[in-house]
Amino acid sequence: MKINETKNLDNLKRLADGYLNTLKPTNDKREFYTAEIKVMNYSELGCIITNMLKLCILALNQDEYEISETVKQPAIDVGLVLEVALQLFPNDEFDLLSEINQVLASSDVES
């Protein structure tokens, strides 16, 4: 039984190395991770941040369906916000979960 557990652990480590890509450990000793957002330039980063803030303002002020007139561009680029959410979505990790599920299912059949 011990050999089988070691084999399964080695298999899971191999799978994890190939799929756990969304979160990257920070260089410090704390247990924090970073997630990467790809942007073309500072302008796009600024648009992403302001659109997220505007969306939050609207969510907080549900009774008022508009952004203050003091904001230069009150329109919200929801597509841009959703694009960032897609970049952060852990697709590889979901593939890993499928692989782990297959390994566990096959080990149940073998036992």
Tokens of 35: 């997630």
Instruction: List the single range of 62-66, 80-84, 95-99 with lowest mean pLDDT.
Output: 62-66
Q: Residues with Cβ < 8 Å from 101, sequence gap 6 or more?
A: none
In this model, does residue 79 exceed pLDDT 80?
Answer: yes
Q: What is the pLDDT of residues 4-26, one digit of tens each?
A: 778 878 888 888 888 888 888 88
In this model, does residue 1 exceed pLDDT 60?
Answer: no
In this model, does residue 62 exceed pLDDT 70?
Answer: no
Closest listed residue to residue 11, CA positions, set 109, 102, 93: 102
pTM for this predicted structure: 0.58
Residue 94 or residue 110, greater confidence: 94
Q: How far is CA 10 from the centre of its chain?
A: 26
DSSP state of 111: -
Q: Residues with Cβ < 8 Å from 71, sequence gap 6 or more?
A: 54
Looking at residue 100, what is its pLDDT?
83
In this model, does residue 46 exceed pLDDT 60?
Answer: yes
Tokens of 47: 């648009």
Q: Cα–Cα distance between 69 and 18 in angstroms, integer?
A: 49
Closest listed residue to residue 90, CA positions, set 20, 37, 25: 20
